[in-house]
Amino acid sequence: MREVGIIGVGHTKFGALGRVTSRELIVSAASEAMEMSQKGRDDIDAIYVGQLSPDIFEHQMHAAPGIPDYLGLANTPSTRVEAACASGALSVMQGAIAVASGFYDTVLSAGAEKMTSLPTSHVTEALAMCSDNEYEANLGITFPGAFAMMARAHEIQFGTNAEMRASVAVKAHKNAVHNKLAQFPKEITMEKAMHSLMIADPLTLYDCSPITDGAAAVMIVPWEEAKKFDGPKVKIKAFSQASDTMALHDRADITGFDTTKIAGRKAYKMAGLTPKDIDFVEVHDCFTIAEIIATEDLGFFEKGKGGYAVIDGETARDGHLPVNNSGGLKAKGHPIGATGVSQIAEVFKQLNDMVEPERQLKDINFGMTQNLGGSGSTIVAHIFERGN
């Protein structure tokens, strides 16, 4: 298996972007990635695109062929990848596997979602389809409800309280202030976070990620080629995936995700690293409790201590493990199919000193991403190394 790397990324603004299609958003992000990588249309062997539900959000099934069509890449194979909110990272992983195997030499992996055309109730119903329909969605359980159960269980067992969850939100918004691509680049107070509208007890409005439009893309090539490239680059040290039961009631413990633990262990083994080697991480904070759980499951903090780590500033930009320096899903935004690719684009830019000066991390060599699908039924993890 060949080693692989990324030599270009693209990223649209995240937010309510008006009358634009996911196809157009992908073209914008992909064009930026192609320009950065200095790759032309004839160089791209295949496209993998992560999208959750263009059929519901845009009334468009069979969405993948629209990408090469709009990019002017006639007859280039294009495949849609769907794994709920982990669709984006899985599109990158599939691209990495294709290049590592030697079947393709240059792959464009992208992700996008156009969500804001529908009312919130319709989006909530669409997302609920990613849970177990027989035992959850069909009975009225939404994802805010599912993660509320996890938050309550974590609170009962470990004391992870509203102040700790609110601290995740406050940190996310503070980090997003200097991210020009973020949906909500504004700070919030602890009081506002803790006393906002109750969504699903104990989760309030500021515990939840928003409904978002956006796209991101990356260019994947063999590492031998990437090493010769005179532009920005990162090495993909590891990629891994794990799956679990669809329904929460089939799991022995809902205060953590076995999928994250397994995918994390696989990634560390593939990279030859440990959690202590990771300099910063982008995790899937669809809800504030999800960030706390992820940092514990990935081995960065002892089980039950993730909330305390946030309170103590350990996950802040100037902490020993910066978490979601981009603003995360909470403040940067969460256009489902784009999220995992966006995380990877953020790590790429950080490792190449390409983000805004106010939020550029120093002395970093290894970054990690964790992208979650459903209520943890799918987890995709990646580890990246500075290329220069």
> Which residues are catalytically annotated?
85, 334
The answer to whether 4 and 96 are in contact (CB under 8 A) is yes
| DSSP H or E run through 382 | strand 378-386
Element (H, E) at 194: helix 190-194
Two tokens at 110?
A: 């992208």
Query: What CA–CA distance (Å, rounded) separates 304 from 309?
Result: 10
Cα–Cα distance for residue pair 280/385, rounded to 1 Å: 11
Which tokens in the block code for residue 340?
Answer: 């995992």
Helix 288-297 to helix 162-176 angle (10° resolution) is 90
Q: DSSP assignment of 247-278, as one string?
A: SGGGSS-SSS-HHHHHHHHHHHHHHT--GGG-
Neighbours of 357 (CB within 10 A): 7
| 369, 89 contact by CB (below 8 A) | yes
3-class SS of residue 225 = helix
Answer yes or no: are the C-beta atoms of 67 and 29 closer than 8 Å: no
Asked if 161 contacts 148 with a C-beta cutoff of 8 angstroms, the reply is: no
Three-class SS state of 219: strand
